[in-house]
Amino acid sequence: MKKTTSKSRSVQPSRPTKEACPICGVLYTVGVGLASHIRFKHANAPQALPVASKRAITTEADIRVVPIIDPKTHLQEAIDQLTARKSQIDQELGRAEGLQTESREVNKRIEALHTAMRAFGQESMAASG
């Protein structure tokens, strides 16, 4: 029997590349499960939201402190924003109503000019006839 010797090589096993979910940051092996995860876990989530970090472990630098807003303040801010938007809409509607009035006046003038052109055409025909 022959004794075979094999030289051991220092080969590192290839590690699969990980990809983070762009919405929640959970890591998945590329091509395995990420698309399915997004479809089922984030079906209604805006897809453009970036995750704070693509690392699985969160560090202190990744944590944002968001001040707590009491409900009354939150509601007042919403009322203020909607009131400002309503004011903008009312201004635009006023402009639209003004344009509609002007459009009706222009239509009347155009019709008067068409009437004058028809009358002028009939006078020309009567004079040449």
Q: pLDDT digit string (tens) for 29-66?
A: 766 677 777 777 777 765 544 444 444 455 555 566 65
Mean of all residue pLDDT scores within the chain? 74
pLDDT of 111 over the 80 cut: yes
What predicted TM-score, i.e. pTM, was given to this entire model? 0.35
Q: Is the pLDDT at 109 greater than 90, yes or no? A: yes
Residue 33 pLDDT:
73
- pLDDT confidence bin for 3, thresholds 50/70/90: low
CA distance 120 to 17: 84
> Which comes out higher in pLDDT, residue 69 or 93?
93
- pLDDT of 104 reads 95
Higher-confidence residue: 18 or 82?
Answer: 82
Q: Is the pLDDT of residue 119 over 50?
A: yes
